[in-house]
Chains A and B, each alone.
Chain A
Amino acid sequence: MNYRPKLPSLAGAGEGPYVYTWFYLLFAMPPASPTTRLLAQLADEGLLPPAQAAAIADDERMRPFSLHYELRALLYLGITLLTGGVGVLVYQHIDSLGHGVIIGAITLAMAASFAYANRHRAAFTWGEAPRTSTAADYLLLLSCLLFLVLEGYVQVQYGIFGSRYGLVTVLPAALFFYLAYLFDHRGVLSMAITALAAWVGVSVAPLTLFTDGFPSEELSGPGLVLGLALLAAGLASEQLRRKPHFAYTYLLLGSNAALLAALVRLFDGDGSTEGPELLRALLVALLMLGICTVLVWYARRTQSYIFLLLAAGYGYVAFTVVLMVMVGFMNFSEAFIPLLVLYFPLSLAGLIALLINIKKILRIA
C-alpha cells in the first residue's frame, strides 16, 4: 500500500474515498515504541540481561491483543438491550396470536441460558470458585433478567400472586440470593440485593444520591434497617469466611443505603432546637460514625479504599451537621458566624491533612 498523502478533493461526493488517504497517513504508520527505550534503559542499568530484554520485547510485539473486557462489555450491553426490549414487547399485543410465541421464546431462552450456565457451574465452595466460562456468567445474568420479565408478565396476566404484591419482589430476591451463592456470582448477588431493596421500597444503586436525590423521609427508616442488615451480612461473610469476597458488594451497597437514610434523618430535624431533637441528631450521628468506623476497619483489612472514601465523606458531613445543631442549640449563633465561616476552610484543610497521612494513622503498609 502506498501511504503517500494525497489531499482529499472536496469537489464532488463521488471522490469521497480519497478522504481515507488521510486515514492511512494518520493511523497506518507503526508508532515508535517507548517500551523499547524502557527495555534498553533497564538493560543499561544492569537490571535485565540483554537476552531477557529481547524476550520481553518479543512478547510485547507478538502477544495477542486481549478483547476480554470489550467482549464482556458488549455481552452486558446486549443483555441489557435484549431484556429491556423484551420487557416492553411482552405487554404489547397481549391478546394476539404472536404473543404466545414471544412468551414461549422467552421461556425457552431463559431455560436454555440457565441450562448452559448450570452445565459450566463449578463445584460449590464457601471460598471463591474458579471462573469456568465467561459466557456462562453472562447467560446466568440473562436468565435471571428474563425470569424477572416472565414473572412480571405472569402476575399481570394471571395474577398468580393475587394481591400479595410483596411476593412479586421477595420471590426473585430469594431465588437470586440462592443462585448467587450456588454459582458464586457477584452480579447475581447485586441483583438479589436490588430486588430485596425494591421489596422494601428503597434504591441501593451506588449513585442513587446523584440520580434520585435523597430518599424520602418515610423510606429512611426501612432504608436504614435494610442497610444495617446488609452491613451485618457483609461483616458476617468476612468474619465467618462464608464467601468473603461477597463482603465488598454487601458492605458497599449496605453502607451507602444506611448512611443515606441516616443523613435524611439527620437533616430533617433542623429548625427545631428542642432537647429531644438534639438527642436524636446526636444518636443518628453516632450511628453514622459507627458505620464509618466499620468501613474504615474493612478498608484497612482488604485495602479497598472506596470504603475510606465513603467513611471520610459521610463522617465529615455527620460531624459538621452535629456541630451546627449544637451551635444552634446553644443559641449564640450570632457571635459564631465568623467562626463558622472559618470552620469550613480549617476543617477541610484538616480533612486533607488526615487523608494525606491516612496510611500512617491506620498503619496500612
Chain B
Amino acid sequence: MRLKAYPAAWADDEATRAAADRWQRRGLLTPAQQVAIDAVHPISYYRPHNWIRLLLLVATLFGAASGLGFLLLITKADFNPGVYAALVALAAIALLEVLISRSQHYRSGVDNALLYVAVFAWGCLTYELTDNAFSLSFFSINWLLLMLAALLVALVRYADPLVAAVCFIVALWLAAIILMHSQLGRLMLPFGMMAIMGALLLALRQLPARADYYYYRSAGLVLRALGLAGLYLAGNYLVVREGHAALLGAGGPSEQVALAPLFYLFTAGTPVMYIGLGLRRHDRLLLTVGLLTLAFALFTLRYYRSLLPPEIAATLGGLVLLVGALAALRYLRTPRHGLTAEADKAIPPQFNLESLIIAETVHVPAAPEASYQFGGGQSGGGGADGSY
C-alpha cells in the first residue's frame, strides 16, 4: 500500500495552477501561457468551492451519526460499544479509500469528514479497550499513546490540517503528563514545552526542502502556527504563573513564580521578535502570530496591573492603533524597506466579506423602551454604562 492516500501529483498540480494564476494576475505570464500550464497540470481531482466543502463536511458528519443511529436501532444496541466503534471506523476508512480512488475526492469535505469519523471511532474503541478511569484532568497514557499512533498514521497518509492540529494537542498532552510525573519535570514544565515547540519548529523548517512539500503544506502551516503560538504561551508570564498555581492546586490568588524577570522578558520580547522577523522575512504567518501574541502580552499586563480604566484604555489604544495604521498606510504608500501598503494584485479583494464582518460586529443601539427614563442618579460611574 502506498504511504500517501492521495496521488502526490494532485497537490503539485494544485500548487502549480495556483502559482500560474498568481503570476498571471501580476502580469508575469501571458494568459496563453497560463492556459498552457493549466492544460499540462489539469484538475484531476474533485474539490468544490469552500462553502460547498463546508456543507459537505457537515452533511457527511450528520449522515454518519444518523447512520450509526439506524444501526443501533436495528441491532437494539445489543453489542459492546467497542464493536460499534470498530464497525464505524472500518466502514469510514473503507468508504474514504474507495472515494479517493474511485471518485478522486481530495479534501472535498466528504473525505475530511470520513477521516474525522474514523479517528473519532478509533478514539472510542481504544477508550473502551484501555479501561480509562475518566477524570477531567487526565486520560490514561495508554489511550493517549494509541491515539497519537493513529493520528500520526493519519497525518502521514492523509496530511489533513485538522488531524495535524489534534495530533499536536495529543502529543503535547502526553508530554505534559510525562513531565509532570517527576518533581523536576514539574519545575521545568515551561522550558520542556518550549523545547518541544522549538524542536517542532526546527523540524518544520525541513519541510520546504522536501519533494512532497505541497502534499503536506496545509498540515505544516497549521503545525507551524500552533508551534509558534505554543512557544510563546509556554513562556508567557500569565500562563506560567496561573498554570503553576493550578498545578499546586491551592485556591485563592496565584503567587509570584521563580525566574519571574525571565518570563517578563519573554512575554514582552517574543511578540516584538515575531513581528520584527515576520516583517523582515516577509513571513505572513509569523507576523500574524506576532500580532496575536502582542495582544495576549497586553492582556497579560492588564491582568496583573490595571493601569487605566477599561474605557480609557480602549479609547487610547484604539486611537494609537488608528493613528499608527493611518501613518503606516501613508508611509508605505511607496514601498520602503521591502514593505508596501498596496494590495497584492495576486489576491482578489474581499469587500463583501468585510461588509459581513461589519454587520456582525457593529453595534447600533436599539430604540429604548417606552418606559425608559434616564434619571439623573444614573449619571455617575458605571451606572450609565449599563443602562444604555
Q: Which residues of A contact B (CB under 8 A)?
A: 10, 13, 16-17, 19-20, 22-23, 25-35, 38, 41-42, 45, 47-48, 52, 55-56, 59, 63-72, 74-86, 88-89, 91-92, 94-95, 134-135, 141-142, 145, 148, 152, 156, 163, 165-166, 168-169, 172, 186-187, 189-191, 193-195, 198-199, 201, 204-207, 245, 248-249, 252-253, 304-306, 308-309, 312-313, 338, 341-342, 344-345, 348-349, 351-352, 355-356, 358-359
Task: Give complex CA distance A187, B235 in Å.
Answer: 39
Q: Is the CB of B325 within 8 A of A71?
A: yes
Q: Is the CB of A198 within 8 A of B330?
A: no
Nearest A residue to B199, CB-CB: A26
Q: Is the CB of B325 within 8 A of A82?
A: no
Interface size class of B (residues with CB under 8 A): 35 or more
Cβ contacts under 8 Å, B281 to chain A: 27, 30
Cβ contacts under 8 Å, B343 to chain A: 66, 68-69
Cβ contacts under 8 Å, B260 to chain A: 13
Contact A80:B361 (CB < 8 A) given known A166-B367, A168-B368, A356-B46: yes
The residue that B385 contacts in the complex, of A28, A91, A207, with Cβ under 8 A, is A91
Q: Is the CB of A186 within 8 A of B63?
A: no
- 6 additional contacts, CB 8 Å, given A16-B265, A68-B344? A19-B266, A34-B213, A75-B321, A172-B364, A201-B366, A355-B55
Q: Is the CB of A71 within 8 A of B367?
A: no
Q: Is the CB of A145 within 8 A of B359?
A: no
Q: Is the CB of A190 within 8 A of B321?
A: no
Stretch at the interface among B133-141, B162-170, B201-209: B201-209
- Indicate whether B91 reaches chain A with its CB closer than 8 angstroms: no
Q: Is the CB of B261 within 8 A of A68?
A: no
Task: Give complex CA distance A223, B294 in Å.
Answer: 41
- Indicate whether B70 reaches chain A with its CB closer than 8 angstroms: yes
Q: Which residue of A64, A84, A248 has the most chain B CB atoms within 10 A of its CB atom? A: A64
Q: Which residues of B contact A (CB under 8 A)?
A: 15-16, 19, 23, 26, 28-29, 33, 36-37, 40, 46, 48-52, 54-56, 59-60, 62-63, 66-67, 69-70, 73-74, 108, 110, 191, 198, 201-202, 205, 208-209, 213-214, 235, 259-262, 265-266, 269, 273, 277, 279, 281-282, 284, 286-288, 291, 310-326, 328-330, 332, 335, 338-344, 347, 351-352, 354-370, 372, 374, 379, 381, 384-385, 388
The residue that A83 contacts in the complex, of B318, B340, B342, with Cβ under 8 A, is B318
Q: Is the CB of A207 within 8 A of B318?
A: no
Task: Give complex CA distance A30, B323 in Å.
Answer: 33
Contact A78:B322 (CB < 8 A) given known A10-B191, A195-B364, A305-B49: yes
Nearest A residue to B345, CB-CB: A66
Q: Is the CB of B55 within 8 A of A66?
A: no
Q: Is the CB of B318 within 8 A of A84?
A: yes
Task: Give complex CA distance A204, B214 in Å.
Answer: 40
Q: Is the CB of A194 within 8 A of B359?
A: yes
The residue that A78 contacts in the complex, of B54, B321, B364, with Cβ under 8 A, is B321
Q: Is the CB of B311 within 8 A of A65?
A: no
Q: Is the CB of A65 within 8 A of B340?
A: yes
Contact A358:B69 (CB < 8 A) given known A71-B329, A75-B322: no
Q: Is the CB of A71 within 8 A of B318?
A: no
Cβ contacts under 8 Å, B364 to chain A: 148, 169, 172, 191, 194-195, 198
